[in-house]
Amino acid sequence: MSVLVGKKAPEFKATAAIAGDFKEITLSSLRGKHVVLFFYPLDFTFVCPTELHAFQEKLGQFHKLNTEVIGCSVDSHFSHNAWLKTPLSQGGIEGVKYPILADINKTIARDYDVLLPDAGIALRGTFLIDKEGIVRHQSVNDLPLGRNVDEMLRLVEALQFHEQHGEVCPANWKKGEKSMKATAEGLKTFFAQ
């Protein structure tokens, strides 16, 4: 698997289903915002709707951080739209408001190196892309392992804190907690407190 951290995020252009409508989206059109791009295996499956709803529950917090959330799977935009119209009680994602990209040709999953070629579906990859289009974080879960959306939100806050203040965020850092200067003296000061 490729490590994309520190590299320019692969550009994409795809049709997305967004709350009953279709829209073409490119990564470059989101320049100036942070982007959380996440891949999931398939529509109408099991762990996937729990993740899509978890991102929806935190969508307001991501937007307050000038961060766009975008889902992506190898299904068509028509399949995404049907799933968006399916109630939660029936395993659907009704109420999800962020875009879900159709990657039916599997090019986006391949470019981000999360495609399982033999299965033709994507692993649960999550990418944090900064305002300049650089990948700053990536994680990839196997199919049965759902991701932690709160951790993704924490990583966005940590990245933005670093961008604003130039300091680094130690292990388990949360917004409002102590950071440190990225120097030997900064580390000593951090541990001394």
Alpha-carbon gap, residue 25 to 18, rounded angstroms: 11
All structural domains of the chain with their residue ranges:
13-146, 148-193
Q: Are the C-beta atoms of residues 33 and 67 closer than 8 Å to each other?
A: yes
Sign of CA dihedral 129, 35, 145, 83: negative
Q: Which two tokens stand for residue 189?
A: 């000061």
For the annotated catalytic residues, the residue numbers are 48
What band does 19 get if pLDDT is binned at 50, 70 and 90?
confident
pLDDT at 20: 85
The partner residues of 129 in beta bridges, in order of sequence, read 35, 135
Considering the entire predicted model, what is its pTM?
0.95
**CATH number of the domain at 13-146, please?**
3.40.30.10
Q: Which amino acid is at 182?
A: A
Which of 185, 156, 191, 151 is closest to 170 using CA atoms?
Answer: 191
